Amino acid sequence: MSDVLKEITAAGVSIWLDDISRNRLQTGNLAELIKDLEVRGVTSNPTIFAAALAKGDAYTAQIKDLAVRKVSVEEASRMITTYDIRWAADVLRPVYDASDGVDGRVSLEVDPRLARKTEPTIAEAKQLWWLVDRPNMYIKIPATAEGVPAITATLAEGISVNVTLIFSLARYGEVIDAYMAGLEQAVANGHDISTIASVASFFVSRVDTEVDKRLTAIGTPEALALKGKAAIANARLAYELYEQKLDTDQWRALAAKGAKVQRPLWASTSTKDPSFPDTMYVVDLIVADTVNTMPEPTLHATADHGVFAGDTVHGTYDASRKVFADLEGLGIGYDDVVQVLEDEGVSKFEVSWNELLQTIQNELNLNS
């Protein structure tokens, strides 16, 4: 095992894999990554499932059976995705048990077409939780304005939640508040909140992609010097907010009842600009009680040449605020950037979901 991955894990960062496929499960690859490369969890999203369905024949037998039963494409998608999630949850169960339920989890997202609909999101979350029927899973709910109350309601049912598509600090604050409100309601509903867990997935590289596009258009030396700075600054300030929210009477009361912290999760941590170091969104965001969910190439790059420098978040907050002050001075507004990213994120997942449904429909037609 890579020493740097051991060091990152020892520093309090849980390494999760940002990918799932039936082939990965069938070949034992996921088990190998858990054993050899410190992987302690798995996330999925519509894009990942669409890619998995488009490759190879791992899903052929199940799709044939679904075609014989003449199920709808939406029902087929649930059967296919929950099968993989259930299998991954079983592979990860020893990690879950050894970590007292902190890690060893796998995430499944609600239909992204529901991202702007509160009640249908809650209903879908409950259905997916029932279908998978594993304690070590997360239901992924997007952090849209409509998703925030769904987060609270889902947690109140005793269901663990991975809040996804967080870009702005303001929305992240709402997510933390929604988590604590959900736990309070769960207590009132008679649930043991020590069994409920949550992560808040703060997207990283997409912030640089959007900001750097605008900096390149400006083109001045001052603008170009800020490229590759916004995403890490944003994530570091998110961690500052996380610490502030924990230093409250509301959280202390919940912790006294056994509540687990809602860990910040750094998502989208592969670099999109080839001029950036391919491990920067890992080594520059090392701090306790966080998760870094990586595509497999980023995992291997970190194992191969990542440089561990200890805690790279504390002591950076003022410098991080200056990054955004400098961007504002150049006419790049934070609120506009994060709204564009949220809208694009929802749209991209909808497109991937529709691609997944179309792929499944085509296969059902071939086998009917």
Active-site residue numbers?
140
Q: How many CB atoms lie within 10 A of CB 191?
A: 17
- In 3D space, the residue among 108, 95, 104 whose CA is nearest the CA of residue 159 turns out to be 108
**What is the DSSP secondary structure assignment for residue 268, as one 8-state letter?**
-
The token duo for 225 is: 């010097």
DSSP-assigned states of every residue in 9-43 = HHTTEEEEES---HHHHHTTHHHHHHHHS-EEEE-
| Amino acid occupying residue 6 | K
Cα separation of 249 and 246, whole Å?
8
CA distances from 218 to 221, 222, 227, 228 (A): 9, 9, 11, 15
Q: Give dist(CA 190, CA 185) in Å, integer.
A: 9
Which residues of the chain form beta strands (DSSP E)?
Answer: 13-17, 39-42, 105-109, 137-142, 161-166, 198-203, 263-267, 290-294
